[in-house]
A and B are shown apart, each in its own frame.
Chain A
Amino acid sequence: MTAGAAEARIGAPTLAVGLVALLAGLAFLSLQVGQVAIPAAEVLRGLVAGADDRAALIVREIRLPRLLLAGLIGASLGLAGAALQGLLRNPLAEPGLIGVSASGGLGAVVALYFGFAAAFPLALPLSAMAGALIATLALYLLAARDASILTLILAGVAISSFAVAMTSLALNLSPTPYALSEMVLWLLGSVKDRSMADVALAAPFILLGWALLAGVGRGLDALSLGEEAARSLGVGLGRLRALIIGGTALSVGAGVAVSGSIGFVGLVVPHLLRPLVGHQPSRLLLPSALGGAALLIAADIAARLIPARGELMLGVLTAVIGAPFFLWLILQTRRRMR
């Protein structure tokens, strides 16, 4: 750990408390925004069990599910991004960029548009998680041995393009007349008009994925010193890989099943927070989850506030923030290296 990084670090509890406060503020704002104007006091009253008028119905059945999903999915993307960056020792690893989200989306599309999910609701998250798992495994096999950034990105581009093309094919072949017009949703993501049923479908798998990822901090810290060093410190590398790949597939896959794929969150959030927590991967996991949730909830607020014909897709907003930030980050890194 360099002195510079140590200086930049702020206390982990302080950062966590700050992020939780940010999250609470954004959650409050998110519940205020909608097509119907509801006074803030009524919104809060609507959250309380027992309230049963139309305002309460809108808050509990329409606004709350989208807030919960944006939070759960954003946290999953941030957490999975931080964990994958640690595992692959590669700053560009991110569920969207390396094709895990797109492959999860392909799984979801197959389950939804051919009627499997209508017959058996769990087919939607299960199929999406299977897609995400296959992509994560394939990527790991392709890119783990050779830690070069280029290999990882090229493998990710291939997996991602293939998954997007197959998604388009599946939508073309679907007997549903609305299928093809929903392509943009699977590419860019949205939590518009989701219900508590969607939360109930995705949340258990997302939480299970978090549980798997929560325990990888110490292993990642050791791995940051190299595989040999990690092994000598008694870290089971096979178990560590399995936890991260499984946790990513569960949390990202189940999220994509209800929202479509949303890019850049897993990239931007860990990079933004790394200067604050230092370069120890274990310290990055919790803040990345909190930060990812905050970013996606903020994006979902903006999606509803920006006047457009139809609501903006979440991936549009995360890309608008994420892509320029990332380019700037590359420039900064290069300057520092010179």
Chain B
Amino acid sequence: MRFPRRRRLHLSILLLPAVLLVGTAGARAAVPARIVSTNLCTDQLAVALIGTERLASVSFLAADPTLSNVVDAVRDLPANHALVEEIARFDPDLVLAGAHRERRLNDRLRRLGYRVHALAAPNSLAELRRAVTDLAAVLGVPERGAALIAGMERDLAALAADAGAARPTALVYRPNGYTSGAGTLVDEVMRLAGFDNLAARSGVAGGGNLSLESLVVAAPDLIVFDNPGERGWSLAQRLQAHPVLDRLRPGTRFVALPGRLWVCAGPWIVEAAARLRAARNR
């Protein structure tokens, strides 16, 4: 079974350019092949951009249907809880993570020699565009990122074109009275859907809590609950069932929007805007 010596040499010389070519291409783009995502938002954007083939693991929240839009896609992927040892077990060539709460984790991972791409939560559509473009470049699929953004812009433009003259008022009321004011993606989505966000107008910048009394005074046309569901068994969530909400004034409307549509920024915010628009036209 031994090849003649000359023949073997000949084979390797033939293969050498091919090996070199692959090697240099890999070094130039460094397309990661074994990716671990540790954050719900990077989980979803990564699945939207490259599917699941190159993903070794996603965060455990990606399988939670109240928070995630990619439950079916990640069904067979192992879950992680953003722990260093867990991540190391997958020996990833890229780790996707959040930028704020995970800062310490990211530092440790980088010190251990892992490549980490940290995604800061986008607070506007412009920041979302930039985040998707950056992530698509890191994942080696810039054209996929551009297509995703183009599709999203097209859908949002169609929604905006449909806007009427009247701008009814709306307010997001999450558990504990948490709402989104000026300078948030939620605020931008509400405006795109044709609403005047009362939280922004009553001075809430970023996220903040609005007292029940202030809500009564604001008396919005539409109150948006999010993340409703069968797990509403806490005092934080009981606030959303306070009887005063039913007596605000005649004609106050309520819409329940699944939290998964805007807990993370992504193309699914188009659906959030569309559902708000539908509530407006109802």
Q: List A residues at the B interface (Cβ < 8 Å).
A: 34-36, 54, 57-58, 61-62, 112-115, 117-118, 174-179, 181-182, 185, 193, 195-197, 310
Contacts and interface: CB of A to CB of B under 8 A. Distances in A.
B236 A182 contact: yes
B235 A115 contact: no
Given A36-B217, A58-B216, A62-B213, A195 B243 contact: yes
Contact of A112 (B176, B177, B234, B242): B234
A193 B242 contact: yes
Given A34-B213, A36-B213, A62 B233 contact: no
Contacts, number: 74
A178 B177 CA distance: 13
Contacts of B209: 310
B230 A61 contact: no
Nearest to A194: B242
A193 B234 CA distance: 13
Binding site of B, secondary structure by majority: helix, strand, loop or mixed? helix
B194 interface: no
Interface residues of B, number: 25
B216 A113 contact: no
A203 to B, nearest CB: 16
11 contacts: A35-B213, A36-B214, A61-B216, A61-B247, A62-B216, A112-B234, A175-B233, A177-B231, A193-B212, A195-B243, A197-B243
Most buried by A among B213, B232, B242, B248: B213
Contacts of A58: 213, 216-217, 244
A54 B242 contact: no
A174 B213 contact: no
Given A54-B219, A57-B248, A178-B175, A196 B237 contact: no
A182 B237 CA distance: 11
Given A58-B216, A195-B242, A118 B211 contact: no
A113 B234 contact: yes
B255 interface: no
B163 interface: no
Contacts of A54: 216-217, 219
Contact of B212 (A62, A175, A197): A62
Contact of B235 (A34, A175, A177, A185): A185
B239 interface: yes
A112 B236 CA distance: 12
A112 B232 CA distance: 10
A196 B243 contact: yes
Contacts of A178: 175-176, 234-237
Contacts of A176: 231-234, 237
Contacts of A310: 209
Contacts of B248: 57
Given A176-B231, A177-B231, A185-B235, 14 more contacts: A35-B211, A36-B216, A54-B216, A54-B219, A57-B216, A57-B244, A61-B247, A62-B216, A112-B235, A118-B232, A118-B233, A176-B237, A178-B236, A193-B212
A144 to B, nearest CB: 35
Nearest to A112: B233
A189 to B, nearest CB: 12
A58 B245 CA distance: 11
B234 A182 contact: yes
B125 to A, nearest CB: 27
A115 B230 contact: yes
Contacts of B239: 193
Contacts of A34: 211, 213
B210 to A, nearest CB: 9
A118 B230 CA distance: 9
A176 B211 CA distance: 22
Nearest to A180: B234
B233 A174 contact: yes
Contacts of A61: 216, 242-244, 247
Contacts of A185: 235
Contacts of B176: 178
Contacts of B235: 112, 178, 182, 185
A195 B244 contact: yes
